[in-house]
Amino acid sequence: MVSTTKTAPVKRKSKEAAKAAKTTEPKTPQTRARRASKWDVSERDWARYQKHNTPEIRQKLLNKYLPLVRNVASRMAMGFPRSVELSDLVNTGVIGLIEAFGNFDRDRGVKFETYAVPRIRGAILDELRALDWVPRSTRAKSREIDRAHTVLENKLGRPPEKPELAKLMKISVEDLHTALGDVTGTSILSLDEVVYREDDNRQVPRIETVVDKSVHSILGEIEKGELRSFLVVAIDRLTNQEKLVIALYYYEELTLKEIGEVMSISESRVSQIHTRAVAKLRGMVREKFALTG
């Protein structure tokens, strides 16, 4: 009885500590894997399905993976215009899930979620291409803004400010902001999210991955928060295509090929836009902080 009385508080304390740790643990590949377990299916579930292969068991397995579809769709939605509904992405993603389920070969030793995610993403991208989610008017406005931006940049020798751009286009600054919102779709302020770098697993804001290591080494004691704040401003000075590529590549983590499919341009064109955008950002950072390296 004595030992039982002593161990009970320890168990309660352990549970509380575990709960606290769960809410504060950093976003590492390991913690992401643990959190992904909410849609993980046991070997017993798969064995039961392979043995009986009934519609009821199949539907039960698919239902367990529905949170995976919503996770993929939610991440992709961050890089798309506001006109793209998350529910539509989820519905299309479910189609990809069903197709992946039908083609999955468990004997290959690959986890189903590993196999399914690219196919869910692919189904969503295919549907967006088919529907042409960027309205024709928005595409035309994007080209008009890009042309005006290029004209002013060549004339001024620097990226134009929004009032200058609006004046050349003979529209109000408010209308320009609306047009930019339609074209770029989402804010990229979330690039400030903390991530882990692949080379040394060091915790850094995602937005810092846009700037090369040489800039970071030259910055020395400059406050990192100041750099992040300026990068947000600098990105806002990019063309609409450049903003979208930066958002999709660094935040949504789409490949250049996938970005090309979303934007209906070639992979090589995406690469050119990405290279130009990053070069502009690095140039603006160096100019801002008077860097010469």
DSSP run (H or E) holding 194:
strand 194-196
Instruction: Give the per-residue pLDDT at 221.
Output: 38
Q: How many residues does the chain have?
A: 293
Long-range contact pairs involving 169-178 (C-beta distance under 8 Å, separation at least 24) = 169/144, 169/145, 176/145
Instruction: Give the per-residue pLDDT at 274.
Output: 86
Q: How many CB atoms lie within 10 A of CB 41?
A: 17
211 to 196, 202, 265, 283: CA distances (angstroms): 15, 15, 25, 10
Q: What is the mean pLDDT of residues 112-134?
A: 77
What whole-number percentage of the chain has pLDDT above 90? 3
Sorted by where each starts, the structural domains of the chain and their CATH numbers stand as: 39-131 (1.10.1740.10), 134-184 (1.10.10), 186-293 (1.20.140.160)
Instruction: Give the per-residue pLDDT at 220.
Output: 44
For residues 129 and 17, the model is more confident at 129
Instruction: Give the per-residue pLDDT at 139.
Output: 62
Instruction: Give the per-residue pLDDT at 153.
Output: 75
Instruction: Give the per-residue pLDDT at 196.
Output: 43
pLDDT digits over 65-96, tens only?
A: 888 899 888 887 776 666 678 888 899 999 99
- Residue 21 has, within 13 A of its CA and on its CB side, a CA count of 7
Instruction: Give the per-residue pLDDT at 234.
Output: 82
Instruction: Give the per-residue pLDDT at 94.
Output: 92
Asked if 224 and 184 touch (Cβ cutoff 8 Å), the reply is no
**Is the model's pLDDT at 128 over the cut of 80?**
no
Instruction: Give the per-residue pLDDT at 289.
Output: 64
For residues 54 and 193, the model is more confident at 54
Q: What is the mean pLDDT of residues 191-211?
A: 46
What is the Cα gyration radius of the chain? 24
Q: Is the pTM of this model over 0.85?
A: no
pLDDT digits over 231-273, tens only?
A: 778 888 888 888 888 878 876 677 888 888 877 788 888 888 8
**Is the model's pLDDT at 290 over the cut of 80?**
no
**Can you tell me which residue has the tokens 């991530």?**
195
**Mean pLDDT over all residues of the chain?**
69
**Is the model's pLDDT at 23 over the cut of 80?**
no
Instruction: Give the per-residue pLDDT at 136.
Output: 60
Beta bridge partners of 194: 205
